[in-house]
Amino acid sequence: MEFTIKSGNPEKQRTACVVVGVFDKRRLTLAAERIDRVSKGYISDIVRRGDMEGRLGTTLMLYNVPNTLSDRVLLVGLGRERDFREEAFCTAVRSTVKFLNETGAYEAVVCLTEEKVRKREVSWQVEHAVLAANEAVYSFARLKTETEEVRRPLRKLTWMVPLRSDLLVAEVAMARGQAIAKGVELACDLGNLPGNICTPVYLVEQARQLAKQYQEIEVTALDKQQIKEEGMGAFWAVAKGSEMLPQFIKIEYRRDVADIKPIVLIGKGITFDSGGVSLKPAVDMDHMKFDMCGAASVLGAFQAIAELKPDLRVIGLIPACENLPSGSATKPGDIVTSLSGQTIEILNTDAEGRLILADALTYAERFDPEAVVDIATLTGAMVVALGHIACGVFGNNDALVRSLVNAGDDAADRAWAMPMWNEYHEGLKSNFADIANVAGRAAGSVTAACFLSRFAKKYDWAHLDIAGVAWKEGKEKGATGRPVPLLVNWLLSRERYYS
């Protein structure tokens, strides 16, 4: 979709549709009031009759409103004025765009970006309006042969800003929103693709596609033989149960100027997680095609960064494989040697994410990183702890953890800091190896993070457990593209470290 920015009067817009907000109960926004005034009370009449109360997300389309230059005026409910915060704003934009996409209007001028969201700048609103609009029109239909096509799809939206002096920052924010939206879309597409299509090799091809598209990106990948030769015994222990060939992907973003320590992002790339010999129950096992959403978010973040071109050096590492049971699969009790040299007793083959991440974390040491952040759909316990609202952040450096929480806050892609006290390591003790890969049911997300920390001792490290936020279930089943917005926000916030 195409976007532009404008400032001006709603009644003077020559367009297919002008969108103005109404607060609960029946309170007109300034833009709605302006149209009401020129149309001699047309809007307030309708509102008084009870057809638009202002409830959040409701819509009412009006035609031929007197003395306006647009074909239509769309009223959108914004909820209570004092509750008009980030969430309400994004919800209102999503409802607007979903509704418009099903009308005959192929373009619109949206005045909702003029309504002040508390503690946020115009730039924040424009960036998030772009993201919400893209989310509203996203669909994943490429594997359906019969598609319900939108007859006249929405092609162009103009965001209104309050002042002419807002135009410049709004343009920059719009570009940022579009770049992030591109990354989110890539992450969603990869997440939604099933395990028989989105294989480890497919992920390599997608990464190579980015390298082709952007000269700042370079991609290499290790195959099965190289993974074994490298000594990634923990990664191989997961990969070896499947006929699908594993890949260890390295993707690098750098500007020619940047001779600096890299930031490393590591994404869990399990293209299907059956649990292995510790087989999962059949119910909802299809959700485990989403077990590569960490990897997808890394590729999405690279796409956004390559669009925005900050002065940064970023390396992405993606261990990608399937976790399946077979005659060659790892068995509970097997002991393997990780790339770090530490031996691991694999008590549960379903705790596979931490195994592949362990070797990637060790591999990251060779880049002498500024910081390492891994992103993984790591534990069901994370969903129990924080639900689908925020992902959990763990780490060995409080400032790093805090910076990620803040980035999530700004991105409306929330993360919440979780504890990692020493006592939690207790359960990872093994009688037979240096460490066990599981520690019992209690605090499952924390003990998983503790396991990872044993392989991340040589640098500042943080871990995002995105099990609860990477996809939606139920009627709206599908990948969310989270935490691409958080990652991009965070990476951009690191740029000032260097410049």
CB of 170 to Mn ion, least distance (A): 44
Question: What is the DSSP track for 341-390?
Answer: S-EEEES-TT--HHHHHHHHHHHHGGG--SEEEEEE---HHHHHHHTTT-
For position 380 contacting ligand BES by CB under 6 A, the verdict is yes
Q: Give the helix/strand (H/E) hosting 97.
A: helix 86-100
Q: Which of residues 265-284 bind Zn ion (CB under 5 A)?
A: 270, 273
Rounded Cα distance, 162 and 8, in Å:
8
Query: Considering 280, 414, 458, 494, which one is annotated as catalytic?
Result: 280
CB of 388 to ligand BES, least distance (A): 11
For position 162 contacting ligand BES by CB under 6 A, the verdict is no
Q: Give the helix/strand (H/E) hosting 464.
A: strand 461-465
Helix, strand, coil % in the chain, rounded to nearest 5: 40, 20, 40
Confirm whether 354 is a catalytic residue. yes
How many residues of this chain interact with ligand BES, rule: CB under 6 A? 16
Rounded Cα distance, 305 and 302, in Å:
5
State the residue number with the nearest CB to ligand BES.
380
Among 177, 269, 310, 353, interactor with ligand BES by CB under 6 A: 353
Beta strands in 231-337 (DSSP E): 247-254, 263-267, 269-273, 313-323, 334-337
For position 377 contacting ligand BES by CB under 6 A, the verdict is yes
For position 369 contacting Zn ion by CB under 5 A, the verdict is no
Sole residue written with tokens 């994370």: 382
CB of 461 to ligand BES, least distance (A): 20
For position 291 contacting ligand BES by CB under 6 A, the verdict is yes
> Which residue, 274 or 340, is less far from ligand BES as judged by CB?
274
> Which residue, 300 or 444, is less far from ligand BES as judged by CB?
444
- Residue 140 CB partners (closer than 8 Å, separation 6+): 188, 189, 192, 478
Partner that binds at residue 339, options ligand BES, Mn ion, Zn ion, none, CB closer than 5 to 8 Å by kind: none
Question: What is the DSSP track for 420-448?
Answer: --GGGGGGG--SSSSEES---STTHHHHH
Among 350, 370, 410, 413, interactor with Mn ion by CB under 5 A: 350
> Which residue, 208 or 287, is less far from Mn ion as judged by CB?
287
Chain center to CA of 465: 12
For position 332 contacting ligand BES by CB under 6 A, the verdict is no
- Asked if 191 and 479 count as a contact pair (C-beta separation under 8 A), the reply is yes
For position 322 contacting Zn ion by CB under 5 A, the verdict is no
For position 252 contacting Zn ion by CB under 5 A, the verdict is no
Q: What is the torsional sign of CA 84, 88, 90, 92?
A: negative
For position 322 contacting Mn ion by CB under 5 A, the verdict is no
Which residues would be at the binding site for Mn ion (CB under 5 A)?
273, 350, 352
Catalytic residues: 280, 354
Residues that bind Zn ion (CB under 5 A): 270, 273, 291, 353
